[in-house]
A and B are shown apart, each in its own frame.
Chain A
């Protein structure tokens, strides 16, 4: 039997304040908890915490719960929440900032495909300037769950026969001009 009781030492108010100062996250504390975001979100029914609950967790400072959630990775950035929100909170930006923090501190579920894809994408574009869908999906599958490749054969074949699967990766000529960051960081 699990016990769930939250003590105040787990609530990091200073972290909550820092989140609210990131670009796009200013409306964090004016949330009414009305739930419109969750009602509008097409993915909310799959999330462990609905968008509204994530905001509730963040502003009370429950950092670990928020960063370890699957919610932030299921966000498709469709912005339905942001346009519906009666407080005009940019919930999508809050989600992005939590994703970044989860990656920086390695708090995402291991081998969860979504953050893995993001990281492969980041590496590929960082090196070549353009992404290749084929290699991206391949690398993501190998690093999260290779078995999914088995299910992708049909789709893969469909793409090959219609000439949509490009094996050769594209690249930018002037690689040196690409933005280089040695370690990702938040915009201060």
Chain B
């Protein structure tokens, strides 16, 4: 469909971030917003490609944008913050640097401007701008009865292009969740890096960055963390037991995607929203979201 939002999943959403894809599709279905997966998309290259070869790194994005153009997608949604940034940066650098534009050469049938016409957007910004907290509030069918959450935005969605949300103390996720009745905490580490792939390569360093985030969120009274990026979610989620082993601190903190929470508030299905995929905080998740209780008590 030409009027559907183009959807660029990226490698993570098919792997460790599968709950993000599940909840995104479920949420957009509940909101009647059509999503069409980009046909034959390729990996965005993340940080690794740019670390090896600049030219092919940009070309990976050019191929994706060219595919989006071919499919007549005006908007291309990239839920993974790394994919989002890589695509945006490629568009920006193609315009700013003639050397980069030259390398892009044949993509878009020689007309690079069409690649820049694709609006690369993050689903958080799409929900905030195209739907908005007020419309969301009207569609709520389940009342929140869980605890307070800390909204964690990560880095690459807000930096360096502050289009999805502003870089210091962003609030769009907070406002959307609050419209769904979810209390959010005010904390200062909303955009502090989770380390990205460093948890895999410089393990101690990466894990400690996440320990810092979990600790501060808990200190500010959060009982769960809500994210926008699959790598952030994985980092905060998958190492809590290791952190407990190393520091003695038990967090048991659910790390959820904002699409899961909003999807739930709009009446979405527990499994379809990917809740069973969580590693940490499973008990809390069951308490807050599992069907048996919610259907009986919280239905409006």
Genuine A/B complex: yes
A80→B193 contact, CB < 8 A: yes
Contact (Cβ within 8 A) B52 A103: yes
Q: Which residues of A are found within 8 Å of B193, using beta-carbon distances? A: 42-43, 76, 78, 80
| B11–A162 touching, CB < 8 Å | no
User: Does B114 touch A at the CB level, under 8 Å?
Assistant: no
Which of under 10, 10 to 19, 20 to 34, or 35 or more describes the interface residues of B? 35 or more
In the complex, whether B284 has a CB less than 8 A from a CB of chain A is: no
Q: Which of A6-14, A29-37, A56-64, A128-136 contacts B (4 or more CB under 8 A)?
A: A128-136
Task: Verify if B156 is at the interface (C-beta below 8 Å from A).
Answer: yes
A99 adjacent to chain B (CB < 8 Å): yes
Interface members, chain B 180-239 (any A CB < 8 Å): 192-193, 195-198, 200-203, 205, 209, 238-239
Q: Is the interface of B mostly helix, strand, loop or mixed?
A: helix
B10 to chain A, nearest CB (A): 9
Q: Are B201 and A114 in contact (CB under 8 A)?
A: yes
Within 8 A of B (CB), among A32-53: 42-43, 46
| Inter-subunit contact B93/A133 (CB<8 Å) | no
Contact of A187 among B42, B103, B239, B277 (CB under 8 A): B103
Contacting residues, chain A, for B62 (C-beta < 8 A): 179
B270 within 8 A of A: no
CB distance from A78 to the nearest CB of B (A): 4
The list of the 8 closest CB pairs from A to B, nearest first, reads A184-B53, A179-B59, A121-B48, A79-B159, A113-B201, A78-B155, A78-B193, A99-B51
CB distance from B232 to the nearest CB of A (A): 11
Q: How far is the CB of A107 from chain B (nearest CB, A)?
A: 13
Quick check: A188 and B99 within 8 Å, CB to CB? yes
**CB nearest to A151 among chain B residues:** B203
Interface residues of A in 113-141 (CB under 8 A from B): 113-119, 121-122, 125-126, 129-134, 137, 140
Are A96's CB and B12's CB within 8 A?
no
| B46 in the interface (beta carbon within 8 A) | yes
Q: Which of B86-115 contact A (CB under 8 A)?
A: 93, 96-97, 99-100, 103
Known A134-B15, A170-B11, A179-B59: A129·B93 in contact at CB below 8 Å: no
- Asked if B74 lies at the interface with its beta carbon under 8 angstroms from chain A, I say no
B107: nearest chain-A partner, CB-CB: A179
Docked complex Cα distance between A166 and B43 (Å): 16
A72 to chain B, nearest CB (A): 9
Tell me how far the C-beta of A182 lies from the nearest C-beta in chain B, rounded to whole angstroms: 10
Residue of B100, B160, B241 ringed by the most chain A CB atoms within 10 A: B160
What B residues does A158 contact at CB under 8 A?
238, 241, 279
Q: 6 extra interchain contacts, Cβ-Cβ under 8 A, other than A76-B155, A83-B159, A140-B200?
A: A23-B100, A118-B51, A131-B43, A163-B277, A177-B63, A184-B56
CB proximity to B under 8 Å, residues A145-188: 148, 151, 154-155, 158-159, 162-166, 170, 172-174, 177-181, 184-188
Whether A20 is near chain B, meaning CB under 8 Å from some CB there, is: no
Residues from chain A with a CB closer than 8 A to the CB of B195 are 42-43, 76
Across the interface, do B16 and A164 meet the contact criterion of CB distance under 8 Å? Answer: yes
Bound: A163/B99 CA distance, A: 43
Distance, CA A113 to CA B59, complexed state (A)? 25
Q: Which of B41-100 contact A (CB under 8 A)?
A: 41-43, 45-56, 58-60, 62-63, 93, 96-97, 99-100
B165, CB-defined interface residue at 8 Å = no
- A142 within 8 A of partner (CB): no
Residues of chain A contacted by B14 (CB below 8 angstroms): 130, 166, 170
* Given A154-B242, A174-B40: A74 touches B198 (CB 8 Å cut-off): yes
